[in-house]
């Protein structure tokens, strides 16, 4: 096994940063000067390199393109006012990455390659991290099968890589959501709990159909009865009913265990809410709405942190919300941001210093 000190660095001759204005850049469009690339072959990880960001040369028979062994993560690094850089809960992403790898019959990535590789890469490209409010560096670790062979079997070769993308504020206007009753994202025994590339591809058609009907995203429901809520697009979902915050539990393996989901539950408890992880039916959501105690509905995820839901449509029943008067979702977001930008004490040990 390779150790982190064996990560070989080749620096870019010239930084692309001089060509880019880091203010208000769109999400996921620009990448920093370097990337991490590590190979898995003959049962071991080897050739760990940080090198100039560049295209990959791939064989057309690349296994990942045919059979979809491909997983990823999304993490963010923040620069505080003193210019110090910290990453939000990367060890949780590391653990989840290996859970996804196991489900997709891919090798485990050793912690020192993931964490040290990420740390060294960020250190090298830290000038790329915008310091303005609401800006950050998006970290994208990913792994894919790289056998040049179209026989159906788990690949013997893999590549683990990390790329970095500076991002501006995510202008998330409140969403209109369509409760999905035909297509499904995840089933018990399936791959819903893995951050597998195919989960995203598999969701796109249903999302496009909802868009044609005038909605921004779908609220996924269970595959058997289309009764229990799962996730909202690619975000976890929270319902504030009375003084209780409810989010679907992870027991069936149909929900992605979001790091923002977990952090949101911690914030909500600190704010005095009862937090329940449990099955929640759309009928219970409607009853709470009719009783006037469904106060807020929002999605959580690394890219946007919190996305408020202003409309939820189930069959012909439309629930509308006055998001401008909401207190809870904005407070969760500002508490999390205060920790990330070093303006509040990090009581939970969430920030990982670079």
Q: Which residues bind ligand PLP (CB under 6 A)?
A: 74, 195, 231, 234-236, 256, 258-261, 300-302
Distance, in Å, from the CA atom of 272 to the CA atom of 339, rounded to the nearest integer, reads 18
Q: Which is nearer to ligand PLP, 87 or 256 (CB)?
A: 256
The stretches of the chain forming alpha helices (DSSP H) are: 63-67, 90-103, 111-124, 197-212, 259-270, 282-290, 328-340
Q: Which is nearer to ligand PLP, 17 or 303 (CB)?
A: 303
**What is the torsion angle, in degrees rounded to the nearest 10, for the CA atoms of residue 135, residue 139, residue 140 and residue 142?**
-170
Q: Which is nearer to ligand PLP, 7 or 87 (CB)?
A: 87
Q: How far is the CB of 301 from ligand PLP (least distance, A)?
A: 4
Distance, in Å, from the CA atom of 207 to the CA atom of 218, rounded to the nearest integer, reads 6
Distance, in Å, from the CA atom of 328 to the CA atom of 118, rounded to the nearest integer, reads 33
**What is the torsion angle, in degrees rounded to the nearest 10, for the CA atoms of residue 251, residue 253, residue 256 and residue 262?**
20
Q: How far is the CB of 80 from ligand PLP (least distance, A)?
A: 21
DSSP 3-28: -GGG-EE---SS-GGGG---TTPPTT
Q: How far is the CB of 88 from ligand PLP (least distance, A)?
A: 10
Categorise residue 92: left if φ over 0, alpha if ψ from -120 to 50, beta otherwise. Answer: alpha
Q: Which is nearer to ligand PLP, 203 or 323 (CB)?
A: 203
Q: How far is the CB of 196 from ligand PLP (least distance, A)?
A: 9
Q: Which is nearer to ligand PLP, 156 or 202 (CB)?
A: 202
Q: Which is nearer to ligand PLP, 235 or 280 (CB)?
A: 235
Q: How far is the CB of 291 from ligand PLP (least distance, A)?
A: 29
Query: Do residues 267 and 332 touch, judged by C-beta distance below 8 A?
Result: yes
280, two tokens: 């929640």
Q: Which is nearer to ligand PLP, 34 or 90 (CB)?
A: 90
Please name the residue that has the structure tokens 């910290």.
86
Q: What share of the chain is helix, strand, coil (3-state, %, to 5)?
A: 25, 30, 40
Q: How far is the CB of 120 from ligand PLP (least distance, A)?
A: 23
Q: How far is the CB of 41 from ligand PLP (least distance, A)?
A: 28
């Amino acid at each position: 096994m390779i150790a982190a000190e064996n990560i070989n660095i080749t620096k870019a001759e010239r930084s692309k940063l001089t060509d880019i204005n880091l203010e208000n850049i769109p999400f996921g469009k620009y990448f920093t000067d370097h990337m991490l690339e590590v190979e898995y072959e003959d049962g071991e990880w080897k050739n760990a390199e940080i090198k100039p960001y560049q295209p990959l040369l791939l064989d057309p028979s690349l296994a990942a393109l045919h059979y979809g062994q491909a997983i990823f993560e999304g993490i963010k690094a923040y620069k505080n006012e003193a210019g110090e850089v910290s990453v939000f809960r990367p060890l949780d992403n590391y653990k989840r990455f290996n859970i996804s790898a196991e489900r997709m019959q891919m090798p485990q990535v050793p912690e020192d390659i993931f964490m040290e590789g990420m740390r060294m890469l960020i250190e090298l490209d830290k000038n790329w991290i915008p310091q303005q409010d609401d800006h950050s560096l998006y970290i994208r670790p990913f792994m894919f099968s790289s056998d040049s062979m179209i026989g159906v079997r788990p690949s013997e070769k893999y590549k683990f890589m990390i790329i970095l993308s500076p991002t501006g504020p995510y202008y998330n206007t409140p969403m209109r959501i369509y409760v999905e009753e035909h297509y499904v994202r995840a089933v018990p025994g399936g791959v819903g709990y893995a951050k597998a590339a195919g989960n995203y591809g598999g969701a796109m058609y249903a999302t496009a159909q909802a868009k044609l009907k005038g909605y921004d995203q779908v609220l996924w429901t269970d595959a058997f009865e289309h009764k229990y809520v799962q996730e909202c697009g690619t975000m976890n979902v929270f319902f504030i009913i009375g003084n209780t915050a409810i989010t679907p539990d992870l027991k069936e393996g149909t929900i992605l265990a979001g790091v923002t989901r977990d952090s949101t539950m911690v914030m909500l408890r600190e704010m005095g809410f009862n937090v329940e992880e449990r099955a929640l039916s759309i009928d219970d959501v409607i009853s709470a709405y009719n009783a006037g105690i469904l106060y807020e509905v929002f999605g959580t995820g690394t890219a946007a942190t919190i996305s408020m839901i202003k409309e939820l449509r189930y069959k012909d029943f439309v629930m509308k919300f006055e998001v401008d008067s909401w207190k809870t979702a904005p407070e969760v977001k500002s508490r999390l941001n205060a920790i990330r930008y070093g303006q509040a004490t990090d009581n939970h040990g969430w920030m990982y210093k670079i």
